[in-house]
Amino acid sequence: MKNSIKYTKDELRKKYKILRINMPEDERSLYDRKIFENLTSLYQYKNAKTILTYISIDIEVDTRSLIKKAVDDGKNIAVPKCTDDFGMDFYFINSFDDLETSTFGLLEPRTDICRKVKNYKDCLCIVPGMSFDVSGYRIGYGKGYYDRFLSEFMGTTAGLCYSNCVQWKLPRGFYDKPVDIIVTDRYFRKCSSRYNNKE
């Protein structure tokens, strides 16, 4: 069963990677803008003091506009740094100049000048994914960094995804953690029961 889930996830990962690579640039820009507008309209965004967010790469929903907006809104911004034990810590940044290219080719915070986040109260964590389902489960990149972090994170989580990459139900393993809210270019969906009675 475990191998079957892994195989299915790998195939879905390939499928949505190809879909995103083939997405026309003008279409992607439009979807990114709509996702940005939907996310920043949420009270979970407005009430958060700190935004924990990844630095987007080409096939991911853009987060650079979000970072600039959050800075303008007076929020703290923190981005992840992967550790050798497949863990992940977040560090505050003041600008994109605080980033450096990691061994994986990703932009990560410079730990010599950035301060590690120690208190995750009042944080909104933006979670990447190749695909999400309506219950908030996702297909990530297969390394498990975010699932490990989310297993202990008690704040609100929001998954950013193009609407054509959302499925009704994805395969899930024991350690997979769903997000509280899915934000797409067409809608946002509250997956966690703690938000059922909130607007």
Per the CB < 8 A criterion, the answer to whether 52 and 124 are in contact is yes
**Which residues in the chain show pLDDT less than 70?**
1-3, 103, 193-199
For residue 199, what pLDDT is reported?
A: 41
Q: Give the H or E element holding residue 15.
A: helix 2-21
* CATH of region 2-90+120-195, choose from 3.20.20.70, 3.40.50.10420, 3.30.365.10, 3.40.50.1820: 3.40.50.10420
For residue 197, what pLDDT is reported?
A: 41
Break the chain into its structural domains and give their ranges: 2-90+120-195
pTM above 0.85, yes or no: yes
For residue 143, what pLDDT is reported?
A: 79
For residue 2, what pLDDT is reported?
A: 53
Per the CB < 8 A criterion, the answer to whether 147 and 86 are in contact is no
Read off the pLDDT of residues 147-157 as tens digits, 9 standing for 90 and up.
Answer: 999 999 999 99
